[in-house]
Amino acid sequence: MTTREIKKNIHWVGVVDWNIRDFHGYSTYKGTTYNSFLVMDEKIALVDTVKKPFKQELIDHIRELTDPEKIDYIIVNHVEMDHSGSLPDMIDLIKPEKIFCSPMGHKALLSHFHREDWPYEIVKSGDSISLGKKTVHFLETKMLHWPDSMFSYIPEDKLLISSDAFGQHWSTSERFDDEVDKPELMAHASKYYANILMIFSPNVRKLLEKVAEMGLEIDMIAPDHGLIWRENVGEILESYGRWARQEAKQKAVIVYDTMWKSTETMAKAIYKGLLEEGISIKMMDLKTNHRSDIVNEILDTKAVLFGSPTLNNGMLPSMADLLTYLKGLRPTGKIGAAFGSFGWSGEAVKHINGFMEKMKFDILDPGIKVKNVPIAEDLQKCVELGTKIGQAIKG
C-alpha cells in the first residue's frame, strides 16, 4: 500500500514530487508533495487533487481503497494548479454529486476551467456537511494565500486539513512530523512561511485569533504540502504566531555580491563590527545562496545589510533580483544599510536605499561607497557601520 491512514477511515492519497526544483522562484531543492485526502464514510469525500502530471498516481492510490466512481463529493480547499490541475479529469472519472468550494473558489474554478456545468456547492465559513459519522466544517481563509483558500475541519477526529497553510516543500517517504528530523522539518516550514506567507502575515494573525476564539480542538494538521503535523501541532501554531508577528532575534544578515572582491572585503569588515557587539550573523553571497534561502534567514532577523558594486549606473542583477523578490514579500520591522564599491559613478548604494525606503526599513546610515579597492580607513568605516547596526539591534 502506498496510501497512509492518518485518522480512522481518513487516508493520505497524495503524491510525492521528488524532482521539482523551482516553485515560482522558490528553490525546492528537496522536492515537494501534493497532499490529497480521502475520507471514507457513508459518503466518501476527496479533499483536493494533485498537479496534473501526477493524476494517474492519485487514481492508483484511490483504487487501493475504493473504486473512484464510489466517491460522492470533492472538496476544493484551494484552486491553485498544483492542487487542482487534475481536477477536470477526476471529475470526469468520479462524476461527483457535489463539488464543495468557497465563494471565491467557485469564481476561480470558473475562470480556470470554464465549466459552468459542474455540480458546485458553495460553502462559507460556518457551513458544514455530514458524511455520516463524520462532519466537515468549512472556514474561509482568504489570501492564505489565494482569495479562494479555505480550511476543512473534521471535529470528530480533531483534524484540520489546512490547504497551503502549515506546509513545507519537502519530498519524503514519511508522512508525519514525528517520523523525520525535527530541526530540518522546522527549517522547511519556516522557509515555506517566509517565501509564501510572509506577505500575508496580518491575515495569519487574524486567522490564529479566529481559530482560538472558535475553540477548535486540533490534534492533527494536514497541509497540502509536506509532512502532516501530529506530534508538534502546538509548536507549529506557536511558530506561525511568531512568524506572523515577524519577531526578530538579535541577528543580522549580510547579503552581497561582488565583482573583484572589494564589496566582499567590505562585508567582512562589517561582519567584524557586528561580531564585536555579540550579534548572531549570517553572511550570504548571492553567487552561492538562493534568494528563497536568504529570505528564510531574513524572516527572523533584525537587520539586513545589502552590498553590491555599481554596474552600469545600477546594482548587480543578482541584488536587484533579491530586492525585487523581497519587496513583494513585505518584511516589517527591519533595520537596513547599504554598502558597495564602484569604479566611476557609484549609484548602487542609492538604488539599494530606494528599495529599503519602499519596504519601510529603518535606514540608520546613508551607506558606504568605496572607489575601487578599500583602504584601511574605508574598512574601519565598515567596522563602525557594523558596530552601529549591532548596537541598534540590541536597542
Residues 74 and 219 reside in one and the same domain:
yes
Question: Residue 309 belongs to what domain range?
Answer: 252-394
Residues 350 and 233 reside in one and the same domain:
no
For residue 247, the SS3 value is: coil
Catalytic residue among 26, 192, 193, 271: 192
What is the mean pLDDT of the segment spanning 26-48? 97
Q: Using one digit for the tens of pLDDT, what is the confidence trace for 67-118?
A: 999 999 999 999 999 999 999 999 999 999 999 999 999 999 999 999 999 9
Q: Return phi, psi of residue 124, to 5°.
A: -120, 170
pLDDT above 90: residue 395: no
Active site residue 362: no
Catalytic residue among 48, 57, 164, 177: 164
Per-residue 3-state assignment (H helix, E strand, C coil) for 324-344: HHHHHHCCCCCEEEEEEEECC
Query: How does the average pLDDT of the chain come out, rounded?
Result: 97
Residues 234 and 125 reside in one and the same domain:
yes
Active site residue 240: no
What is the mean pLDDT of the segment spanning 48-75? 98
Cell representation of residue 374: 578599500
Rounded distance between C-alpha atoms, residue 79 and residue 56, angstroms: 19
Q: For residue 266, give the H/E element and its range.
A: helix 262-276
What is the mean pLDDT of the segment spanning 281-304? 98
pLDDT above 90: residue 37: yes
At 361, the pLDDT band (50, 70, 90 cuts) reads very high
Rounded distance between C-alpha atoms, residue 293 and residue 29, angstroms: 10
Catalytic residue among 17, 48, 80, 277: 80
Active site residue 106: no
Residues 240 and 256 reside in one and the same domain:
no
What is the mean pLDDT of the segment spanning 306-320? 97
Catalytic residue among 34, 48, 61, 78: 78
pLDDT above 70: residue 9: yes
Catalytic residue among 225, 257, 297, 351: 225
Rounded distance between C-alpha atoms, residue 291 and residue 318, angstroms: 9
In the block, cell 564585536 appears at: 276
Residues 60 and 129 reside in one and the same domain:
yes
Q: Which of 191, 225, 244 is the last residue of a domain?
A: 244
pLDDT above 90: residue 1: no
Residues 113 and 258 reside in one and the same domain:
no
**For the domain that residue 376 is a member of, what is the CATH number?**
3.40.50.360
Catalytic residue among 145, 169, 188, 351: 145
pLDDT above 90: residue 174: yes
Crossing angle, helix 317-329 and helix 291-299, to 10 degrees? 50
pLDDT above 80: residue 155: yes
Residues 111 and 225 reside in one and the same domain:
yes
One-letter identity of residue 189: A
Catalytic residue among 24, 116, 181, 213: 24
Active site residue 225: yes
Residues 265 and 363 reside in one and the same domain:
yes
Q: Which of 244, 270, 298 is the last residue of a domain?
A: 244
Residues 281 and 205 reside in one and the same domain:
no
Q: Using one digit for the tens of pLDDT, what is the confidence trace for 108-135?
A: 999 999 999 999 999 999 999 999 999 9
Q: Which of 205, 228, 244 is the last residue of a domain?
A: 244
Domain count, the chain: 2
Catalytic residue among 17, 48, 57, 82: 82
Residues 264 and 235 reside in one and the same domain:
no
What is the mean pLDDT of the segment spanning 151-180? 98
Residues 224 and 260 reside in one and the same domain:
no
**For the domain that residue 230 is a member of, what is the CATH number?**
3.60.15.10
Rounded distance between C-alpha atoms, residue 166 and residue 240, angstroms: 8
- Closest C-alpha among 230, 229, 228, 226 to residue 171: 226
Residues 77 and 125 reside in one and the same domain:
yes
C-beta neighbour count of 106 within 10 angstroms? 20
Q: Are 219 and 158 in contact (CB under 8 A)?
A: yes
Active site residue 178: no
Active site residue 61: no
